[in-house]
Structure 1
Amino acid sequence: MDTKIIQLTSAKGPSECCLAVALALKAMIAEAKANKFHYEVVSRFAGDINGTLSSATLKLEGKNLNVFLNSWQGVLLWIAQSPHRKFHKRKNWYIGINELNNANIQQLNENEISFQTMRSSGSGGQHVNKTETAVRAIHKASGLFASCDNYKSQLQNKNEAVKRLKIKHAEWQQKKIGEQGLNSEWKNNNDLSRGNPKRIYKGEKFIME
């Protein structure tokens, strides 16, 4: 079974691009379900307007994920009248969809992580309420945290919480770099790719062309 970590980003675009990220995430999840992939939204960074996302990270598990990812990865174009600016003439809104590099995910120093145990909120009756099996992993430097209560074993929850935190930290780093304008390679590639988007969606209903 393959595992892929996918980031959707507005690449510092306006609120319309952030709305496109939210719509694309919804469409990607629907396709993942149709393909019977296991999915988890690892993190979301809200945009300035309610219902929008400046970026989001999705974890997918399943077979033949490369085929699925290749149909998405690159630049996505949404052609629509701005829902936020009534008389705005621009109708083309671009977002980026990329696989997060596993090497970047491993860069988080585990010595900088602290842990909290909690009572699980999952199923399990009285045993769950009495035993603190859930774990929250906290990255001290950034303040980022991730939790897990999927397992009865505290150790399994701890390991999974660390994995989730590493993914969230990798996205946070990438988003921070983009906001500072330091990732010139991504910006150049994005500009070059805008003439040949991988997917095109149209209208407020976000229908693929």
Structure 2
Amino acid sequence: MTEIILHLSSGSGPAECRWVVARIARAFIREARGSDVECEPLEVPDDDPASLLLRVSGSGAESFVQQRTGTILWTGQSPFRPTHKRKNWFVGVAPVGLADETDEIRDADIDYQAMRASGPGGQHVNKTDSAVRATHRPTGLVAVSQEQRSQHANRKVARLKLVLLLAERREAAAGDARRDAWDRNQGLERGNPVRTYAGPDFRLKR
């Protein structure tokens, strides 16, 4: 069965873009229902995550991902600044591979610790010690995965999160002299969205 991991990112956008990331994820999950695609988060999302990982699987996964890869536009009033004139908010979507990050972080530099899952998540959070905390010793970065049903799967997702965290840290350290990583590497084109959603219910316009 085809399985693809989607990375949704607010890039260097403001709080509104982080708010949009969580709601675009919900829109994708909603759109997958009743089709030959299963779409689920790899973590319990906050209300305004800077980035989010979704797992897309099923016979139609490749087509589903292809139609959503690129820049996503939400048109609506800022939930935080009601008088703000801006109405267009952008996030980026791109597939990432669990096996494509070996050059970024070495396993020898990561400490994995099994732990009991905690926090919200309902039936999707494991009640056994299958959750994993991954610590990258050279940088001190820590990532936790608890949504997967096995420790092995959580270990892979935690490692992927470390890769993404390291990339974000490198870009933050580079400062204004360099463009944001998403703009450069993932093709976030603000003037050319692949999908547009509108209104508080995040309904697809095109």
Task: Provide the TM-score with structure 2 as the length reference.
Answer: 0.76
Matches of residues 64-143 of structure 1 in structure 2 within 5 Å? Answer: 64-102=60-98, 104-106=100-102, 107-117=104-114, 134=130, 136-141=132-137, 142-143=141-142
Cα distance between partner residues in 1 of 2:36 and 2:135: 33
The root-mean-square deviation of aligned C-alpha atoms, in Å, is: 3.1
Deviations 1:96-135 (A, max 9, x none): 11112455433432223334445799x9xxxxx9xx7635
1:52 aligns with 2:87: no
114 and 98 in structure 1: CA distance in 2 versus 1, 3 angstrom threshold: same
- For the pair shown, which has the larger CA radius of gyration, 1 or 2? 1
Contact 1:72 1:199 in 2 (8 A): yes
Stretches of structure 2 that go unaligned for 5 or more consecutive residues are: none
Task: Provide the TM-score with structure 1 as the length reference.
Answer: 0.75
The answer for the alignment partner of 1:20 in structure 2 is 20
1:165 aligns with 2:161: no
- State the 1:167 CA deviation: 2.0
Stretches of structure 1 that go unaligned for 5 or more consecutive residues are: 124-128, 151-156
11 and 29 in structure 1: CA distance in 2 versus 1, 3 angstrom threshold: same
Secondary structure at 2:33 match in 1: helix
Contact 1:21 1:53 in 2 (8 A): yes
43 and 120 in structure 1: CA distance in 2 versus 1, 3 angstrom threshold: closer
Deviations 1:25-59 (A, max 9, x none): 1111122333243444224775xxxx222111112
1:144 aligns with 2:140: no
Q: How many residue pairs end up in the alignment? A: 190
